[in-house]
Amino acid sequence: ILNILVESPMYQTHVKLPNNSTPDWIKVEPKLFPFFKDCRGAIDGCNVSAFVPDDATSHYRNHK
């Protein structure tokens, strides 16, 4: 699967790198902005499994 995702045609067609801007409608909404202020990007609501080294798990545990 990794090879399919990183092959040039697949990557160039479907992968869009996020920019650093936060949409204005999120910036002005106090209920949303605290959750998105450091967000780098999103993946269309998909759950992506990720693993971190054992000594770093406390930084990532129980975070969405």
53 vs 36: CA distance, rounded Å = 25
Reported as a pLDDT band with limits 50, 70 and 90, residue 40 is low
The residues near 32 (Cβ < 8 Å, ≥ 6 apart) are 26
Res 58 pLDDT > 70: yes
4-32 pLDDT, tens per residue? 677 777 777 777 776 667 778 877 888 88
Res 36 pLDDT > 70: yes
Looking at residue 47, its pLDDT comes to 61
Looking at residue 41, its pLDDT comes to 63
Domain ranges of the chain: 17-64
